[in-house]
Amino acid sequence: MLIRNYRKLIGKNDLRKKALKLIDSGLSSVLSENVMNKKISFDKAKETLFIADYRGRGYKIELKKYGKIVLIGFGKASLSMAKRLEVLIGNRINSGVIISVIKGVPSNKRVKVIRGTHPLPSLQNLRATKEIINLIKKLSKNDLVISLVSGGGSSLLFYPTVSIKKYIEIVERAYKSGISIRELNKIRIGLSRVKGGKLARFTKAKIVSLIFSDVVGDDLSIIASGPTVGRGLSNVENILILNSKIALDVMKDMALSFGLKPVFCLDRVKGEARNVGKMLLNFFIKKRAKCLLFAGETTVRVLGNGKGGRNQELCLGVINEISKLESTVLVSIGTDGRDGPTDAAGAVVDNYSLSKAEKLGLDYKSYLMNNDSYSFFNKMGDLVITGQTGTNVADIGVIIRS
């Protein structure tokens, strides 16, 4: 069980138990180690790396065709992805640089791991990015770069065209306005020397990018702001190997095994978090569903000075509406284990939550107005805690009823 406080959250509520088991199964299916084990294999005799994308389509890379092999990575899943590749082809990796949000030491001492800052970039991220550039600039067309790309890479791979202070001012203002990740990353691309395919232009080497999607619609140019995606890049092959649909498929199978029929899946959920929960609940009621599984990435318009994240705000935004139903539970989490600038992955809310809050003297409206969903659910004992997971396919959630 990846949810650390699972037993505390379920209490004696069987419906909560099912909802959290569904979430846990989806999260487990997208863990970097599990995905890399399933999607990538190596034929040592033929020196060939075999890769399956998210649809099951196969690719092969004949390593013997290349001179030097360099490993680079940036994103919340980059270190976990790199560790699996090291197990498979560690002896063929000449050097590498991974920019990660997690502390870690690679088994291959030729690969350097640098811990960067997220969600806001820093001088540390800039220095790490320059190390990647200096590494790949030295390569020839006979060499190979394996690039590991995942959500969070927009902040970690950082080389702005303006000062760091100016960049952070622009991006932070845009982020707090509640714009979509697509629009935010377009701003980042316009202010960057490495995003929007520009990283790939620093080298003559062949680049194969293995990508985890945290973006609604899986637009490769938006994931981590597309550092190896752009027009005229004949030396690049981008392979999407993971998205949220994989989690939803696993969750659906488990839901059916629980006897929850009908089951509906929505994989492109977006919009302002506090409103999205209500929209999902209305859809759930209208379809007379027993289970609604959803994935995507909502936004938060920050008007208060509280602490929270989009998943917690989604749950808080629906607390009044869900209280009017019988035996209904909603859970929403960020698959990276960090919802906004908090140590929680998300939250759980059910038809009893409002009455519980009132008994505790908590006015949910004031917490919602102050964007303080973390404080609210912390006092309720309803934060979902997983710790950093080392993966990222944005958010997953579930609504079920008995």
CATH numeric code, 6-30+245-401: 3.40.1480.10
Tell me, what's the pLDDT at 178? 84
H-assigned helices in 258-329: 273-286, 310-317, 319-322
CATH numeric code, 55-242: 3.40.50.10180
* Cβ(58)–Cβ(387) below 8 Å: no
Domain locations along the chain: 6-30+245-401, 55-242
Separation in Å, CA 309 to CA 103, 342, 383, 386? 23, 7, 11, 15
The residues pairing with 144 across neighbouring beta strands, listed in sequence order, are 69, 206
- pLDDT tens by residue, the chain, 402 residues: 999 999 999 988 999 999 999 999 999 999 999 999 999 999 999 999 999 999 999 999 999 999 999 999 999 999 999 999 999 998 899 999 999 998 776 666 789 999 999 989 999 999 999 999 999 999 999 999 999 999 999 999 999 999 999 999 999 899 888 888 889 999 999 999 999 999 999 999 999 999 999 999 999 999 999 999 999 999 999 999 999 999 999 999 999 999 999 999 999 999 999 999 999 999 999 999 999 999 999 999 999 999 999 999 999 999 999 999 999 999 999 999 999 999 999 999 999 999 999 999 999 999 999 999 999 999 999 999 999 999 999 999 999 999
Using a 10 angstrom Cβ sphere, with 0-12 exposed, 13-18 middle and 19 or more buried, the burial of residue 65 is exposed
> Parallel, antiparallel, or unpaired for β 206-212 and 383-384?
unpaired
What share of residues in the chain are helix, strand, coil (percent, to 5)? 40, 20, 40
Is the whole-model pTM more than 0.75? yes
**What's the sign of the alpha-carbon dihedral 136, 241, 228, 174?**
negative
Instruction: Give the span between the Cα atoms of 76 and 72, in whole angstroms.
Output: 13
Half-sphere exposure of 171 (CA within 13 A, CB side): 26
* Cβ(225)–Cβ(185) below 8 Å: yes
